[in-house]
Chains A and B, each alone.
Chain A
Amino acid sequence: MSEGDEGYGEWQELVGAALLGTDRRRGGGPAGSPGALLDAAAVHTVRRRAGLRPAAARPRPEPAPHDARPAPPEAAVRRLAQLLAGRTGAGSGGGGRRGSAPDLTELLPQWLAAAGRHGYRAPAGLVPALLDAARARSDLRPQALALAGARGLWLARMNPDWRFALRGGAGGGELPDVTDPSAVERLWEEGLFAERVALLGAVRAHAPAAAPRLLATTWASERAEDRLMFLDSLRVGLSLEDESFLEAALGDRSRNVRATAAELLSALPQSALAGRMAGRALACVGPEGVTPPAECDAGMLRDGVVKRPPAGRGERAWWLGQLVEAAPLSCWRERFGGLGPAEIVALPVASAEGWAEELHAAWCRAAVRQRDPEWSRALLGPASAPPAAGPGTASLAERARLLETLPDGERAEWVAEFVRAHGLSEAFQLLGVCVVPWAGALGRAVVDALDSAREAGSYPWSFSGVMGLAERCLDPAEAGRLEALTAAAEDPPDASPGAAAYWAEAFQRLVATLRLRAAMLSELTPP
């Protein structure tokens, strides 16, 4: 805003006099005494305020591109506002007992995912809150940014807090056209690290063979940790196009870079490294027994085998594990006379040194790395068998990783069978890898197991992990069946005191959350 020119000089004189003090300017100036100075300043102030005029407008921002997607229905918008407002407050009430109120924190990702499926845009007024949420939780970013769309990018260009929205995948409006070599080269040479990773991803998605060429242009001058991160970013969409580049990286100065390159190559069963590893592994393992390597030679070292075992492990077993892990699983059928994975795994690998455990653990790692469902199935064994007696591994974390290589339906069926046979106390990690919402059989198995735990008289918080998972993963259609369990029953005779009431409350919360999820999803359905 501006004021008239007339009087401005006079006002400056008054300010000058006031700064200096009337004692030091006696006689001169517009106002001799303090009272006269204040009188003049008061007149001036009110006159200035009453005569203000607008300022000249600065350049306007370019209008945001039009987003043709429909806005979500009104009830859904309201729900989103509530979920976003509750995001910050969620921690404040924590610490205490959760009572029967539903859990909201996990509903936001589900809302975003469902809204994305319907093809909605985020309501404009909520885009800043959505960007703030995505800034705090990177797991929300892809869906939040897709929903925020053009309006989100338009805002992010003006607010440094939201700069994260400008890099990275789907919505990245800042990346140059990947078919324009000079633009690509310029960003690759001058861009920030994150921008360069995003650029590499974009170039690779467009032409897989171009990415290693781009990497090679600056590879020698990159810092070791950046080289490692670039290699890591190749993990998604890895193909034989990357092989020669990775093969060269086996000679890298940095040990971590070498190890990562070797790991990536071993995930490509047709690669030369996988072939070399197969040769070494086949020499050690066969129908006749196991003979671990006697030494770790220079070739093995170059192919990423780590020579020194961790404390407490023998070095030969350590080398054996690394060779088998990196060898393509397809090489074993012929070596074992045409046997399939299930039969190979079931063979008693006779050896006095007890190599069987080492071998099976390595096969598990190989099955995960090569995403081989047939071997995973064989190594998991039947779900109803006691975990310790399984053919592959008793570790729940590794079993969960093996499960991830199975098709969705089979995975849910296996975990359902596991829950029916062993209850819930060890099921948490396995449930975590199942597709949401849980398939009918899996959901029923979990509910039945919770009911059994209640009848057994233990406290519900022993199962709080599974309860939390159930709240966000159980199909809302199960709420009806759960309703029957919410009635507060008498404590069974040998139960912990008060357990029945706590169970009733826990089931109430589960039902309330499921109903909320169901309501949330139905609100998003176009009218």
Chain B
Amino acid sequence: MTEQGVRWTAEQVLALAPDDASRKAGGRLGGAGPWSQIGGSASGSVWGLCKGSGSNPYRTVVDLTGPAYKCSCPSRKFPCKHALGLLLLWSAEGVGEPGEAPDWAAQWLADRAARAARPAAGPVDEEAARRRAERRAARVGAGVTELEQRLADLLRGGLAGQEHAGYAAWEETAARMVDAQAPGLAGRVRELGTIPSCGPGWPARMLEEAALLHLLDRAWMGVTGLPDQLAATVRSRVGLPASGEGEAVRDRWLVLAQYDSVSPDGRLTTRRIWLRGLTGGRPALVLDFGPPGRPPGLALPVGLVLEAELRFRPGSAGLRADLGERSAAAAPCTEVPAGVSTQAALEAYGAALREDPWLESWPVVLGPVIPIPGELGWQLADAEGTSALPVPLTGAGSRSRGGLWQLAALSGGGPVTVFGECGHRGFTPLTAWQPGSSEPVALS
């Protein structure tokens, strides 16, 4: 490779945009017109000067390994339209032979490199940390005991009364769990409280969720006697921060999906990024969070391959990971991942439940399958054979119908390969590949 690795496609660049307006504005700056002194280095960075309305041009630098951006414009969008424009220009035409960065770009790139090399945390007062952990464990324990009491009361009185009991009592219990510093329990309690208003079949679903919550309570009470991995799973499900370093895995990671969900109160945006190791085949889930009104900072366009180290957190069926050091600039993937049958997809989910019984779904590449639209519900059916998985249309994990129609349009009644989350409610499609094309389509 003579310059900055394999160039990205324009879709992959545009997927980095924080909103529609930036996408459009960036698209307009993606031609050579306003740019001068553009260049790039062999280590994976590009830079250029963009003429704006002022007298001085904006200085824009992008570190492709991040990707990370620096621009002298006053915009608070991130990346700004200039960074997007520069990347689009690079994706369309490249920036020529690698060269030396000008001073203004070199300074920032050097600072970044220096920061990356520095160890992240300072010295730790282990004694104080242990005391803090003990205090927190005691508070969570009190919360768990209270929650068990609440569940026992629920079962004693019978679920039948819940249909008219309203959500407020559950919200109060959830608030008590937040006070007990167990946000994981609080979330499950809120979810439980909404079930009676979710239509037919709610008593069975409510019993399931109450039972799983009870299982988590019991597991917490006996957490010291559990094997390490399961104990870590329980702690993270209850909502405690991960303790201890996880396993580090180096691979070429294919980005399979990226999507955002906003918390019910609108305060927090959660971005989920699904990865899969091309060599080891291991799935990974990287999360990033954004404050109100701001999208999360980490953006990894679907279809890119990053050569990087992932640090897997202990527990949670080994899915949660943090993105570590990246060794090369991301490049587009040229192959379609191999899909499995509907039966194998459910088996994979079932196997994962052995490590984390609270797991809602498991990432699976399914295919070849045929989407079957239906007024009552959609299915994804094996191209050969008669088995199918339903697509959940409501509740947690379901996506908009728009994405499903997009999937149907891509298939035209024929087989496609689909990546998505396979769980006890069915299969939620996130990304699709058309036959004969290696370019993934992110379903909106």
Q: Is residue A333 contacting chain B, with contact meaning CB distance below 8 A? A: no
Give chain A nearest CB distance to B380 CB in angstroms.
Answer: 9
Contact pick for A101, options B11, B25, B31, CB 8 Å: B25
Least CB distance, B156 to chain A, in whole angstroms: 5
B215 A155 Cβ-Cβ under 8 A: no
Report yes or no: A55 in contact with B389, Cβ–Cβ below 8 A.
Answer: yes
Q: Which residues of chain B are near A44, meaning CB under 8 Å?
A: 211
**A158 partner residues in chain B, CB cutoff 8 A:** 373, 408
Interface size of A in residues (CB-CB distance below 8 Å): 66
* A220 located at the interface, meaning its Cβ lies under 8 Å from any Cβ of chain B in the complex: no
Say whether B155 contacts A151, CB under 8 Å.
no
Contact B27 A82 (CB under 8 A): yes
A481 contacts partner chain B, Cβ-Cβ < 8 Å: no
In the complex, A158 Cα to B373 Cα: how many Å? 7
- From A31-39, A267-275, A302-310, the one touching the partner chain is A31-39
* Interface 9-mer from A122-130, A136-144, A196-204, A361-369: A122-130
Does residue B248 face the partner (Cβ distance < 8 Å to A)? no
Is A1 in contact with B409, judged by CB distance below 8 angstroms? Answer: no
User: Chain A CB within 10 Å — which of B14, B349, B413, B414 has the most?
Assistant: B413
B23 contacts the other chain (Cβ, under 8 Å)?
A: yes
Given contacts A54-B346, A63-B414, contact A19 B379 (CB under 8 A): no
Say yes or no: A58 contacts B379, CB within 8 Å: yes
| In the complex with contacts A23-B156, A50-B354, A63-B412, A41-B208 CB distance below 8 A | yes
Give a binary string over A434-445; 1 marks a CB under 8 Å from any B CB, 0 the rest: 000000000000
**Is A253 in contact with chain B by the CB < 8 A criterion?**
no
Asked if A34 meets B155 with Cβ closer than 8 Å, knowing A55-B387, A78-B10, A89-B21, the reply is yes
Residues of chain A within 8 A of B208, CB atoms compared: 41, 45
The answer to whether B406 and A128 touch across the interface, beta carbons within 8 angstroms, is yes
Q: Are A125 and B353 in contact (CB under 8 A)?
A: no
**How far does the alpha carbon of A56 sit from the alpha carbon of B382 in the complex, in Å?**
10
With beta carbons under 8 angstroms apart, the residue of A56, A81, A104 that contacts B386 is A56
List the A side residues contacting B33 at CB < 8 Å: 515
Question: Is A521 part of the contact surface with B, judged by Cβ < 8 Å?
Answer: no
Chain B residues with a Cβ closer than 8 Å to the other chain, count: 71
Complex interface bits, B20-50 against A, C-beta within 8 A gives 1, otherwise 0: 1101110110010100000000000000000
Q: Within 8 Å CB of B414, what residues of A?
A: 63-64
Distance (whole angstroms) from the CB of A375 to the closest CB of chain B: 48
A55 close to B390 (CB less than 8 A): yes
| B261 CB–A CB distance under 8 Å | no
Residues of A within 8 A of B390 (CB): 1, 55
The 8 Å CB contact of A516, one of B20, B28, B386, is B28
Contact present for B159 and A19 (CB under 8 Å): yes
Contact with A along B208-250 (1 / 0, CB 8 A): 1011101100100000000000000000000000000000000
Q: Report which residue of B33, B161, B353 has the largest number of chain A beta carbons within 10 angstroms of its beta carbon.
A: B353
Q: How far is the CB of B91 from chain A (nearest CB, A)?
A: 10
**In the docked arrangement, what's the CA distance between A35 and B385, Å?**
43
- Which residues of B lie under 8 Å from residue A52 when comparing CB positions? 346, 349-350, 424
- Which residues of B have CB within 8 Å of A58? 372, 374, 379, 381, 388
Let me know if B388 and A57 touch, CB within 8 A.
yes
Find B353's partner among A49, A82, A92 (CB 8 Å cutoff): A49
B5 at the A/B interface (Cβ < 8 Å)? no
Known: A50-B354, A52-B424, A516-B28. A1 touches B158 (CB 8 A): no
Q: Which of chain B's residues have a CB closer than 8 A to the CB of A129?
A: 406
Q: Is the CB of B158 within 8 A of A45?
A: no
Contact flag A62-B387 (CB < 8 Å), given A18-B155, A89-B20, A125-B406: no
Instruction: Decide: A42 and B211 in contact? CB cutoff 8 A.
Output: yes
Contact B387 A60 (CB under 8 A): no
Interface centre among B14, B21, B159, B412 (most CB of A within 10 A): B412
From A1, A85, A512, contact of B23 by CB (8 A): A85
**In the assembly, what is the distance between CA of A53 and CA of B214, in Å?**
26
Chain A 108-131 near chain B by CB (<8 Å), digits 1 or 0: 000000000000000011111100
The answer, yes or no, to whether B370 is at the interface (CB within 8 Å) is yes
In the complex, residue of chain B having the shortest beta-carbon distance to the beta carbon of A159? B405
CB closest chain-B residue, reference A85: B20
Pick from B24, B402, B405, B434: contact of A104, CB under 8 Å: B24
Cα separation A54 to B53 with both chains bound (whole Å): 60
B18 CB, min distance to chain A CBs, angstroms: 13
* B351 nearest CB neighbor, chain A only: A50
- A389 near B: Cβ within 8 Å? no
| Contact A63 B346, beta carbon cutoff 8 Å | no
Q: Does B262 contact A (CB under 8 A)?
A: no
Q: How far is the CB of B183 from chain A (nearest CB, A)?
A: 22
A215→B26 CA distance, assembly (Å): 56
Using known A-B contacts A41-B208, A41-B211, determine if residue A54 contacts B388 with beta carbons closer than 8 Å. Answer: yes
Q: Does A27 contact B (CB under 8 A)?
A: no
In the complex, whether A154 has a CB less than 8 A from a CB of chain B is yes
In whole angstroms, what is the CA distance A344 to B336 when docked?
Answer: 76
Q: Which residues from chain A contact B343 at a C-beta distance below 8 Å?
A: 53-54
In the assembled complex, the CB of B283 is this many whole angstroms from the nearest CB of chain A, namely 18
Q: Are A155 and B409 neighbours in the complex by a CB distance under 8 Å?
A: yes
Is residue A465 contacting chain B, with contact meaning CB distance below 8 A?
Answer: no
Cα A515 to Cα B354 with chains together (Å): 60
A248 at the interface (CB under 8 A from B): no
Residue pair B207, A14 in contact (C-beta under 8 Å): yes
Say yes or no: B212 contacts A21, CB within 8 Å: no
Known: A1-B389, A45-B212, A60-B370. A34 touches B346 (CB 8 A): no
A128-B381 in contact (CB<8A): no
Q: A21-B160, A57-B379 are in contact. Are A125 and B441 (CB under 8 A)?
A: yes
Residues of B within 8 A of A9 (CB): none
Interface mask (B408-428 → A, CB under 8 Å = 1, otherwise 0): 111011100000000010100
A24 within 8 A of B: yes
Q: Is the CB of A64 within 8 A of B152?
A: no
B57 beta carbon closer than 8 Å to chain A: no
Which chain A residues (1-48) contact chain B, with CB distance < 8 Å?
Answer: 1, 11, 14-15, 18-24, 34-35, 37-39, 41-42, 44-46, 48
Complex alpha-carbon distance, A1 and B390, angstroms: 7
State how many angstroms separate the Cβ of A267 from the closest Cβ of chain B: 43
Q: Is the CB of B434 within 8 A of A124?
A: yes
Knowing A15-B203, A46-B357, A86-B20, the reply to whether A60 touches B413 (Cβ < 8 A) is yes
Residues of B within 8 A of A23 (CB): 156-158
Which of B156, B212, B405 is close to A128, meaning CB atoms less than 8 Å apart? B405
Residue B138 interfacial (CB < 8 Å): no
Query: Could you list which residues of chain B lie within 8 angstroms of chain A, going by C-beta atoms?
Result: 10-11, 14, 20-21, 23-25, 27-28, 31, 33, 53, 92, 151-161, 203-204, 206-208, 210-212, 214-215, 218, 342-343, 346, 349-351, 353-354, 357, 370, 372-374, 379, 381-382, 385-390, 402, 405-406, 408-410, 412-414, 424, 426, 434, 441
Name 14 A/B residue pairs within 8 A (Cβ), A-sorted.
A11-B204, A22-B158, A35-B152, A39-B214, A45-B208, A49-B349, A54-B346, A57-B372, A57-B379, A57-B388, A75-B10, A78-B10, A125-B441, A154-B413
Q: Nearest 5 CB-CB pairs, A to B?
A: A21-B158, A63-B413, A54-B387, A41-B211, A34-B155
Extra pairs beyond A45-B208, A128-B409 (18, CB < 8 Å): A34-B153, A35-B152, A41-B207, A41-B210, A41-B214, A50-B353, A55-B388, A57-B387, A61-B413, A78-B10, A81-B11, A82-B14, A100-B53, A124-B434, A125-B441, A154-B412, A154-B413, A155-B405
